[in-house]
């Protein structure tokens, strides 16, 4: 029974990672940049939802939608102001800029909302389902998180595979120059990618804080790094890879906490990542590229 309950919380945490990792991986695929500020967009999303539901007493759905709108706008704004001018700059310059944006979001949040932790109220309440005569308790939020992840994954697969915009995204991630010559508005496509990634980050933020209700300006940092790890784990740039990477990472983390040691769980997660990359240097589903001589 403990195994099953670990598995479900692992899947649930993994789903959150997967949703964040999807944003990471899409942005990486198209802009070839590690967007370190992505984790902090999660935090912003969670704060917006928190204030919408607890301070202004809006219904949870409105709270989530509001968080999505704010984060989408924020993501597009960040891209336009900070990343777009650096499109041809060396990747390290872009990484440092992303880190700068991340510092900015964290410290601005601290100014606006102080560093005192807020207790996030779950958007679906704290109800749970008891199975096997109370032997197994599954929280509703865990189930919703897993379902949300599956829906998002399916929607994204459909979007990138079937729609015109999705095809434009794939074209841009292959070759921006060629895409532009084919009449694709590259800048707009990149903005849409950031918008989708940031909206997903908002959802992830709400789900994360519903399961782990402490909300602080630094709340997004660690999940951000974990999701980044998950994206690399699955093969950065690959949408199914981010999903699988996220789920596996969540499961490994919870099992590591449950069966080995709480303190070492992060080390275990990272060790698995390292071993995976040593065996498959481009991640689980990543494509290995070799330089042509």
Q: Footprint of another protein on this chain (CB under 8 A)?
A: 34, 82, 85-86, 88-90, 92-93, 95-97, 99-101, 103-104, 106-108, 110-111, 225, 228-229, 232, 236, 261, 263-264, 266-267, 270-271, 273-274, 277-278, 281-283, 291, 293
Q: Which is nearer to another protein, 193 or 210 (CB)?
A: 193
Q: Which is nearer to another protein, 236 or 251 (CB)?
A: 236
Minimum gap (Å) between residue 192 Cβ and another protein: 23
Q: Which of 183, 281 has the CB closer to another protein?
A: 281
The nearest distance, CB 105 to another protein, in angstroms, is 8
Q: Which one, 106 or 139, has the nearer CB to another protein?
A: 106
Who contacts 196 (Cβ-Cβ below 8 Å, separation ≥6)? 23, 26, 156
63 or 75: CB nearest another protein: 75
Least Å distance, CB 165 to another protein, is: 26
Cα angle, residue 136 at apex, residues 135 and 137 outer, rounded to 5° = 125
- Give the three-state DSSP class for 155: helix
Write down the H helix ranges in the chain: 2-31, 38-50, 60-78, 91-113, 140-162, 164-174, 176-181, 186-211, 221-234, 239-255, 265-279
CB-wise, 88 or 127, nearer to another protein? 88
Q: What angle do CA 160, 270, 265 make, to 5 degrees?
A: 115
The least CB distance from residue 155 to another protein, in Å, is 27
d(CA 227, CA 159): 22
Angle of helix 186-211 relative to helix 164-174, nearest 10 degrees?
100
Give the count of beta carbons closer than 10 Å to the beta carbon of residue 287: 10
CB of 122 to another protein, least distance (A): 28
Q: Are the C-beta atoms of residues 285 and 291 closer than 8 Å to each other?
A: no
Distance of closest approach, residue 39 Cβ to another protein, in angstroms:
11
Which is nearer to another protein, 159 or 255 (by Cβ)?
255
Ordered DSSP codes for 119-149: EPPPTTTT-EEEETTTTEEEEHHHHHHHHHH
Least distance in angstroms from the C-beta of 277 to another protein:
6
């Amino acid at each position: 029974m403990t195994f099953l309950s670990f598995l479900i919380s692992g899947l649930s945490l993994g789903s959150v990672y997967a949703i964040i990792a999807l944003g990471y991986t899409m942005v990486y695929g198209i802009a070839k940049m590690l967007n370190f500020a992505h984790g902090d967009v999660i935090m912003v999303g969670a704060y917006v939802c928190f204030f919408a539901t607890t301070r202004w007493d809006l219904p949870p759905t409105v709270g989530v939608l509001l968080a999505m709108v704010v984060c989408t706008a924020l993501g597009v704004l960040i891209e336009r102001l900070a990343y777009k001018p650096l499109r041809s700059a060396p990747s390290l310059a872009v990484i440092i800029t992303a880190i700068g944006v991340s510092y900015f979001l964290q410290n601005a949040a601290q100014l606006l909302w102080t560093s005192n932790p807020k207790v996030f109220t779950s958007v679906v309440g704290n109800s749970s389902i008891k199975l096997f005569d109370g032997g197994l308790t599954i929280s509703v939020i865990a189930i919703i998180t897993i379902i949300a992840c599956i829906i998002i994954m399916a929607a994204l697969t459909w979007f990138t595979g079937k729609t015109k915009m999705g095809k434009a995204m794939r074209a841009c991630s292959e070759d921006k120059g060629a895409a532009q010559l084919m009449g694709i508005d590259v800048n707009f496509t990149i903005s849409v990618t950031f918008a989708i990634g940031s909206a997903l980050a908002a959802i992830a933020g709400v789900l994360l804080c519903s399961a782990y209700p402490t909300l602080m300006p630094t709340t997004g940092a660690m999940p951000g790094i974990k999701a980044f790890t998950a994206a690399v784990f699955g093969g950065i740039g690959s949408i199914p890879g981010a999903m699988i990477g996220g789920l596996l990472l969540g499961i490994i983390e919870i099992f590591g906490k449950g069966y080995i040691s709480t303190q070492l769980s992060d080390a275990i997660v990272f060790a698995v990542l390292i071993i995976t990359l040593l065996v498959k240097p481009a991640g689980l589903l990543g494509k290995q590229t070799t330089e042509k001589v």
